[in-house]
Structure 1
Amino acid sequence: MAKISPLMIAPPAIFAGLAALFFFGMQRENPDELPSTMTGKPAPVVQVTPLGDKTPFTDADLRSGGVKLLNYWASWCAPCRVEHPVLEDLASQGITIYGVNYKDKPGNALGFLNELGDPYAAIGADENGRMALDWGVYGVPETYVIDGKGNIVLRFAGPITERVLESQIMPAIEKAKGTR
Protein backbone atom coordinates (compact mmCIF):
# COMPACT_ATOMS: atom_id res chain seq x y z
CA MET A 1 0.00 0.00 0.00
CA ALA A 2 1.39 3.42 -1.00
CA LYS A 3 1.91 6.00 1.71
CA ILE A 4 0.32 9.41 1.22
CA SER A 5 2.84 12.12 1.86
CA PRO A 6 1.78 15.35 3.59
CA LEU A 7 3.36 17.14 0.63
CA MET A 8 0.74 15.53 -1.61
CA ILE A 9 -2.14 16.74 0.58
CA ALA A 10 -0.89 20.28 1.21
CA PRO A 11 -1.49 21.83 -2.26
CA PRO A 12 -5.14 20.68 -2.58
CA ALA A 13 -5.84 21.68 1.05
CA ILE A 14 -4.35 25.15 0.51
CA PHE A 15 -6.31 25.53 -2.73
CA ALA A 16 -9.58 24.53 -1.00
CA GLY A 17 -8.92 27.00 1.81
CA LEU A 18 -8.22 29.88 -0.57
CA ALA A 19 -11.26 29.00 -2.68
CA ALA A 20 -13.45 29.12 0.45
CA LEU A 21 -12.00 32.52 1.43
CA PHE A 22 -12.64 33.94 -2.04
CA PHE A 23 -16.16 32.49 -2.13
CA PHE A 24 -17.20 33.91 1.24
CA GLY A 25 -15.47 37.23 0.49
CA MET A 26 -17.53 37.60 -2.69
CA GLN A 27 -20.76 37.10 -0.74
CA ARG A 28 -20.56 40.60 0.75
CA GLU A 29 -23.33 42.91 -0.40
CA ASN A 30 -20.91 45.47 -1.82
CA PRO A 31 -17.42 44.03 -2.43
CA ASP A 32 -15.97 47.52 -3.09
CA GLU A 33 -17.07 48.80 0.33
CA LEU A 34 -14.38 48.97 2.96
CA PRO A 35 -15.55 47.25 6.14
CA SER A 36 -15.75 49.22 9.36
CA THR A 37 -15.68 47.88 12.87
CA MET A 38 -16.96 51.27 14.05
CA THR A 39 -20.52 50.94 12.75
CA GLY A 40 -23.01 50.64 15.61
CA LYS A 41 -20.45 51.74 18.19
CA PRO A 42 -19.94 55.06 19.98
CA ALA A 43 -17.88 57.57 18.05
CA PRO A 44 -14.28 57.76 19.27
CA VAL A 45 -13.14 60.79 21.22
CA VAL A 46 -12.71 64.06 19.32
CA GLN A 47 -9.13 65.36 19.41
CA VAL A 48 -8.92 68.38 17.12
CA THR A 49 -7.09 71.67 17.33
CA PRO A 50 -8.50 74.98 16.08
CA LEU A 51 -8.17 75.74 12.36
CA GLY A 52 -7.53 79.45 12.04
CA ASP A 53 -10.39 81.42 13.55
CA LYS A 54 -12.96 78.70 12.76
CA THR A 55 -15.06 77.38 15.62
CA PRO A 56 -13.82 73.93 16.67
CA PHE A 57 -16.19 71.18 17.74
CA THR A 58 -15.92 68.97 20.79
CA ASP A 59 -16.69 65.44 21.80
CA ALA A 60 -19.90 66.67 23.42
CA ASP A 61 -21.09 68.05 20.06
CA LEU A 62 -21.11 64.54 18.58
CA ARG A 63 -23.26 63.26 21.45
CA SER A 64 -25.59 66.25 21.81
CA GLY A 65 -28.63 64.87 20.01
CA GLY A 66 -29.65 65.08 16.38
CA VAL A 67 -28.09 63.47 13.35
CA LYS A 68 -24.80 64.83 12.14
CA LEU A 69 -22.02 64.02 9.69
CA LEU A 70 -18.32 64.01 10.45
CA ASN A 71 -16.26 64.61 7.31
CA TYR A 72 -12.48 64.14 7.01
CA TRP A 73 -11.03 66.29 4.22
CA ALA A 74 -7.88 68.09 3.05
CA SER A 75 -7.05 70.88 0.61
CA TRP A 76 -4.61 68.61 -1.24
CA CYS A 77 -7.32 65.98 -1.82
CA ALA A 78 -8.83 66.09 -5.34
CA PRO A 79 -11.85 63.90 -4.43
CA CYS A 80 -12.59 66.33 -1.58
CA ARG A 81 -13.16 69.01 -4.22
CA VAL A 82 -15.53 66.68 -6.06
CA GLU A 83 -17.69 66.05 -3.00
CA HIS A 84 -17.64 69.64 -1.70
CA PRO A 85 -20.74 70.86 -3.60
CA VAL A 86 -22.70 67.90 -2.20
CA LEU A 87 -21.63 68.85 1.34
CA GLU A 88 -22.63 72.46 0.67
CA ASP A 89 -26.06 71.25 -0.47
CA LEU A 90 -26.50 69.04 2.61
CA ALA A 91 -25.56 71.92 4.89
CA SER A 92 -28.09 74.19 3.13
CA GLN A 93 -30.74 71.54 3.88
CA GLY A 94 -29.97 71.83 7.60
CA ILE A 95 -27.76 68.76 8.00
CA THR A 96 -25.08 69.44 10.62
CA ILE A 97 -21.63 68.63 9.29
CA TYR A 98 -18.47 68.73 11.38
CA GLY A 99 -15.21 68.92 9.47
CA VAL A 100 -11.86 67.41 10.32
CA ASN A 101 -9.02 68.88 8.29
CA TYR A 102 -6.57 66.00 7.90
CA LYS A 103 -2.77 66.45 7.79
CA ASP A 104 -2.99 69.79 6.02
CA LYS A 105 -1.37 73.19 6.20
CA PRO A 106 -3.75 75.64 7.91
CA GLY A 107 -3.30 78.31 5.22
CA ASN A 108 -4.11 75.85 2.44
CA ALA A 109 -7.14 74.50 4.31
CA LEU A 110 -8.54 77.98 4.93
CA GLY A 111 -7.89 78.92 1.29
CA PHE A 112 -9.84 75.82 0.18
CA LEU A 113 -12.83 76.89 2.31
CA ASN A 114 -12.61 80.52 1.15
CA GLU A 115 -12.61 79.37 -2.49
CA LEU A 116 -15.31 76.66 -2.32
CA GLY A 117 -17.39 77.67 0.69
CA ASP A 118 -17.63 76.34 4.22
CA PRO A 119 -20.35 73.72 4.79
CA TYR A 120 -19.16 72.93 8.33
CA ALA A 121 -21.06 73.85 11.48
CA ALA A 122 -17.70 73.60 13.25
CA ILE A 123 -14.28 72.43 12.19
CA GLY A 124 -11.01 71.26 13.68
CA ALA A 125 -7.60 70.21 12.47
CA ASP A 126 -6.03 66.77 12.85
CA GLU A 127 -2.52 67.85 11.91
CA ASN A 128 -0.72 64.65 12.88
CA GLY A 129 -3.53 62.22 11.98
CA ARG A 130 -3.94 60.87 15.52
CA MET A 131 -7.72 61.27 15.62
CA ALA A 132 -8.01 59.68 12.18
CA LEU A 133 -6.17 56.60 13.45
CA ASP A 134 -8.62 56.27 16.33
CA TRP A 135 -11.53 56.53 13.89
CA GLY A 136 -10.06 53.98 11.47
CA VAL A 137 -9.75 56.44 8.59
CA TYR A 138 -8.19 54.95 5.44
CA GLY A 139 -7.82 58.27 3.62
CA VAL A 140 -9.70 61.40 2.67
CA PRO A 141 -12.44 62.12 2.03
CA GLU A 142 -14.19 59.93 4.56
CA THR A 143 -17.56 60.62 6.14
CA TYR A 144 -19.38 59.22 9.16
CA VAL A 145 -23.12 59.46 9.84
CA ILE A 146 -23.64 59.77 13.60
CA ASP A 147 -26.94 59.46 15.47
CA GLY A 148 -28.17 61.63 18.34
CA LYS A 149 -26.50 59.43 20.94
CA GLY A 150 -23.10 59.70 19.30
CA ASN A 151 -23.14 56.25 17.69
CA ILE A 152 -21.74 55.66 14.21
CA VAL A 153 -24.49 54.57 11.81
CA LEU A 154 -22.39 54.58 8.62
CA ARG A 155 -18.81 55.07 7.57
CA PHE A 156 -18.32 55.99 3.94
CA ALA A 157 -14.83 56.11 2.42
CA GLY A 158 -14.51 58.18 -0.73
CA PRO A 159 -16.20 61.24 -2.19
CA ILE A 160 -19.93 61.65 -1.65
CA THR A 161 -21.48 61.92 -5.09
CA GLU A 162 -25.18 62.36 -5.85
CA ARG A 163 -25.49 58.60 -6.33
CA VAL A 164 -23.78 57.84 -3.02
CA LEU A 165 -25.90 60.49 -1.33
CA GLU A 166 -29.13 58.85 -2.52
CA SER A 167 -28.09 55.21 -2.07
CA GLN A 168 -26.11 55.35 1.19
CA ILE A 169 -25.89 58.66 3.02
CA MET A 170 -29.59 59.65 3.02
CA PRO A 171 -30.77 56.14 4.06
CA ALA A 172 -28.20 56.23 6.89
CA ILE A 173 -29.41 59.68 7.96
CA GLU A 174 -32.99 58.36 8.05
CA LYS A 175 -31.85 55.34 10.04
CA ALA A 176 -30.00 57.63 12.45
CA LYS A 177 -33.20 59.62 12.92
CA GLY A 178 -34.87 56.39 13.96
CA THR A 179 -37.36 56.38 11.10
CA ARG A 180 -35.91 53.32 9.37
Structure 2
Amino acid sequence: MLFVPVIVFAVLAAFFWRGLSLDPTAMPSALVGKPMPQFELPALEQNRGTISSTELVGQPYLLNVWATWCPTCKAEHPFLVDLAESGVNIIGVYYRDDTSKADGWLTNLGNPYLMNIVDEDGKLGIDLGVFGTPETYFVDAAGVIRYKHVGLISQKNWQEELGPIYESIKG
Protein backbone atom coordinates (compact mmCIF):
# COMPACT_ATOMS: atom_id res chain seq x y z
CA MET A 1 0.00 0.00 0.00
CA LEU A 2 2.90 2.29 0.70
CA PHE A 3 4.05 2.28 -2.96
CA VAL A 4 0.64 3.04 -4.57
CA PRO A 5 1.11 6.84 -4.48
CA VAL A 6 4.59 6.46 -5.98
CA ILE A 7 3.26 4.24 -8.78
CA VAL A 8 0.36 6.63 -9.49
CA PHE A 9 2.79 9.54 -9.58
CA ALA A 10 5.12 7.68 -11.97
CA VAL A 11 2.24 6.84 -14.35
CA LEU A 12 0.96 10.43 -14.35
CA ALA A 13 4.48 11.78 -14.86
CA ALA A 14 4.91 9.46 -17.88
CA PHE A 15 1.66 10.73 -19.42
CA PHE A 16 2.62 14.37 -18.85
CA TRP A 17 6.11 13.77 -20.27
CA ARG A 18 4.59 12.21 -23.39
CA GLY A 19 2.17 15.13 -23.73
CA LEU A 20 5.01 17.62 -23.73
CA SER A 21 6.58 15.92 -26.74
CA LEU A 22 3.43 16.19 -28.91
CA ASP A 23 2.95 18.97 -31.46
CA PRO A 24 -0.12 20.99 -30.39
CA THR A 25 -0.63 22.26 -33.96
CA ALA A 26 -0.76 18.76 -35.48
CA MET A 27 -4.30 18.16 -36.67
CA PRO A 28 -4.51 14.79 -38.38
CA SER A 29 -7.10 14.43 -41.09
CA ALA A 30 -9.13 11.32 -41.80
CA LEU A 31 -9.19 12.42 -45.46
CA VAL A 32 -5.44 12.09 -46.11
CA GLY A 33 -5.12 9.37 -48.73
CA LYS A 34 -8.75 9.73 -49.80
CA PRO A 35 -10.37 11.60 -52.73
CA MET A 36 -11.57 15.16 -52.36
CA PRO A 37 -15.20 15.24 -51.21
CA GLN A 38 -17.69 15.66 -54.05
CA PHE A 39 -19.19 19.13 -54.33
CA GLU A 40 -20.72 21.65 -56.69
CA LEU A 41 -20.66 25.16 -55.27
CA PRO A 42 -20.78 28.72 -56.57
CA ALA A 43 -17.61 30.37 -57.80
CA LEU A 44 -16.60 33.67 -56.25
CA GLU A 45 -15.91 34.97 -59.74
CA GLN A 46 -19.36 35.93 -61.07
CA ASN A 47 -18.66 34.84 -64.65
CA ARG A 48 -17.74 31.25 -63.65
CA GLY A 49 -21.09 30.05 -62.34
CA THR A 50 -20.33 26.95 -60.29
CA ILE A 51 -17.26 24.84 -59.58
CA SER A 52 -17.43 21.09 -59.08
CA SER A 53 -14.90 18.71 -57.60
CA THR A 54 -14.52 16.99 -60.98
CA GLU A 55 -13.11 20.20 -62.49
CA LEU A 56 -10.15 20.09 -60.13
CA VAL A 57 -8.83 16.68 -61.17
CA GLY A 58 -5.83 16.65 -63.49
CA GLN A 59 -3.32 18.90 -61.76
CA PRO A 60 -1.86 19.01 -58.26
CA TYR A 61 -2.93 21.99 -56.18
CA LEU A 62 -3.21 23.51 -52.75
CA LEU A 63 -6.77 23.93 -51.51
CA ASN A 64 -6.57 26.95 -49.20
CA VAL A 65 -9.51 27.63 -46.86
CA TRP A 66 -9.66 31.37 -46.11
CA ALA A 67 -11.93 34.22 -45.01
CA THR A 68 -11.67 38.00 -44.72
CA TRP A 69 -12.45 37.83 -40.98
CA CYS A 70 -9.35 35.68 -40.41
CA PRO A 71 -6.23 37.66 -39.32
CA THR A 72 -3.92 34.70 -39.98
CA CYS A 73 -5.30 34.47 -43.54
CA LYS A 74 -4.31 38.09 -44.06
CA ALA A 75 -0.83 37.38 -42.70
CA GLU A 76 -0.26 34.40 -45.03
CA HIS A 77 -1.83 36.02 -48.11
CA PRO A 78 1.30 37.80 -49.45
CA PHE A 79 3.22 34.53 -49.35
CA LEU A 80 0.40 32.75 -51.20
CA VAL A 81 0.64 35.43 -53.89
CA ASP A 82 4.39 34.71 -54.14
CA LEU A 83 3.73 30.96 -54.38
CA ALA A 84 1.18 31.47 -57.15
CA GLU A 85 3.61 33.68 -59.06
CA SER A 86 6.22 30.89 -58.79
CA GLY A 87 3.81 28.41 -60.40
CA VAL A 88 2.09 26.75 -57.44
CA ASN A 89 -1.56 26.00 -58.23
CA ILE A 90 -3.82 27.32 -55.46
CA ILE A 91 -7.58 26.93 -55.28
CA GLY A 92 -9.39 29.02 -52.67
CA VAL A 93 -12.30 27.99 -50.50
CA TYR A 94 -13.93 31.20 -49.35
CA TYR A 95 -15.27 29.93 -46.04
CA ARG A 96 -18.37 31.16 -44.17
CA ASP A 97 -17.94 34.80 -45.11
CA ASP A 98 -19.84 37.60 -46.84
CA THR A 99 -18.92 37.42 -50.53
CA SER A 100 -19.15 41.20 -50.92
CA LYS A 101 -15.94 41.55 -48.88
CA ALA A 102 -13.87 39.17 -50.98
CA ASP A 103 -13.49 41.35 -54.09
CA GLY A 104 -11.92 44.21 -52.14
CA TRP A 105 -9.62 41.80 -50.32
CA LEU A 106 -8.36 40.18 -53.55
CA THR A 107 -8.08 43.54 -55.35
CA ASN A 108 -6.07 45.13 -52.54
CA LEU A 109 -3.92 42.15 -51.53
CA GLY A 110 -3.60 40.30 -54.85
CA ASN A 111 -5.30 37.14 -56.03
CA PRO A 112 -3.22 33.97 -55.73
CA TYR A 113 -6.14 31.69 -56.57
CA LEU A 114 -6.82 30.00 -59.90
CA MET A 115 -10.45 29.99 -58.75
CA ASN A 116 -12.40 30.48 -55.53
CA ILE A 117 -15.13 28.18 -54.27
CA VAL A 118 -17.75 29.92 -52.13
CA ASP A 119 -18.59 27.80 -49.09
CA GLU A 120 -21.01 30.20 -47.47
CA ASP A 121 -22.82 27.66 -45.31
CA GLY A 122 -19.67 25.65 -44.50
CA LYS A 123 -20.84 22.32 -45.97
CA LEU A 124 -17.62 21.70 -47.91
CA GLY A 125 -15.69 22.71 -44.80
CA ILE A 126 -17.60 20.09 -42.79
CA ASP A 127 -16.88 17.45 -45.45
CA LEU A 128 -13.18 18.38 -45.33
CA GLY A 129 -13.07 18.43 -41.53
CA VAL A 130 -12.13 22.11 -41.32
CA PHE A 131 -11.51 23.32 -37.76
CA GLY A 132 -10.87 26.95 -38.72
CA THR A 133 -9.01 29.15 -41.12
CA PRO A 134 -6.52 29.03 -42.65
CA GLU A 135 -6.23 25.36 -43.49
CA THR A 136 -4.54 24.08 -46.60
CA TYR A 137 -4.95 20.69 -48.26
CA PHE A 138 -2.34 19.32 -50.66
CA VAL A 139 -4.18 17.48 -53.44
CA ASP A 140 -2.52 15.40 -56.16
CA ALA A 141 -3.44 15.29 -59.85
CA ALA A 142 -5.80 12.34 -59.27
CA GLY A 143 -7.80 14.40 -56.76
CA VAL A 144 -6.50 12.59 -53.66
CA ILE A 145 -5.72 14.59 -50.52
CA ARG A 146 -2.09 13.94 -49.61
CA TYR A 147 -1.52 16.33 -46.71
CA LYS A 148 -3.35 18.79 -44.47
CA HIS A 149 -1.70 21.87 -42.99
CA VAL A 150 -3.44 23.85 -40.26
CA GLY A 151 -2.41 27.46 -39.80
CA LEU A 152 -0.16 29.96 -41.51
CA ILE A 153 1.91 29.05 -44.55
CA SER A 154 5.13 31.05 -44.40
CA GLN A 155 8.46 31.18 -46.20
CA LYS A 156 10.05 29.23 -43.34
CA ASN A 157 7.61 26.32 -43.13
CA TRP A 158 7.34 26.19 -46.93
CA GLN A 159 11.10 25.74 -47.29
CA GLU A 160 11.46 23.33 -44.40
CA GLU A 161 8.38 21.14 -44.75
CA LEU A 162 5.55 22.14 -47.08
CA GLY A 163 7.46 22.85 -50.31
CA PRO A 164 8.97 19.35 -50.44
CA ILE A 165 5.51 17.86 -49.85
CA TYR A 166 4.10 19.89 -52.75
CA GLU A 167 7.02 18.86 -54.99
CA SER A 168 6.39 15.20 -54.13
CA ILE A 169 2.74 15.36 -55.19
CA LYS A 170 3.67 17.07 -58.46
CA GLY A 171 5.33 13.78 -59.41
- Give the superposed CA RMSD: 2.4
- Counterpart of 2:113 (choices 120, 131, 135) is 120
Measured in 2, the distance between the counterparts of 1:109 and 1:71 equals 14
Aligned to 2:55: 61
Task: Spell out structure 1 runs of 4+ moving beyond 6 A.
Answer: 11-17
The 1:26/1:35 distance shift into structure 2, 3 A limit, reads farther
Per-residue deviation, 1:113? 0.8
The letter of the residue matching 2:119 is: D
Aligned to 2:123: 130
Q: Percent identity?
A: 39
Alignment gaps of 5+ in structure 2: none
C-alpha offsets along residues 58-103 of structure 1, whole Å, 9 cap, x if unaligned? 21133x2221110100011111111111111111112111111011
Question: Which stretch shows the higher mean deviation, 128-137 or 167-176?
Answer: 167-176
CA contact (8 A) 1:34 1:157 kept: yes
Measured in 2, the distance between the counterparts of 1:157 and 1:131 equals 16
The 1:78/1:48 distance shift into structure 2, 3 A limit, reads same
Measured in 2, the distance between the counterparts of 1:57 and 1:25 equals 42
- Counterpart of 1:98 (choices 91, 103, 107) is 91
Measured in 2, the distance between the counterparts of 1:45 and 1:20 equals 43
Question: Which stretch shows the higher mean deviation, 18-27 or 47-56?
Answer: 18-27
The letter of the residue matching 1:90 is: L
TM-score by length of 2: 0.84
Alignment gaps of 5+ in structure 1: none
1:57 alignment partner, SS class = strand
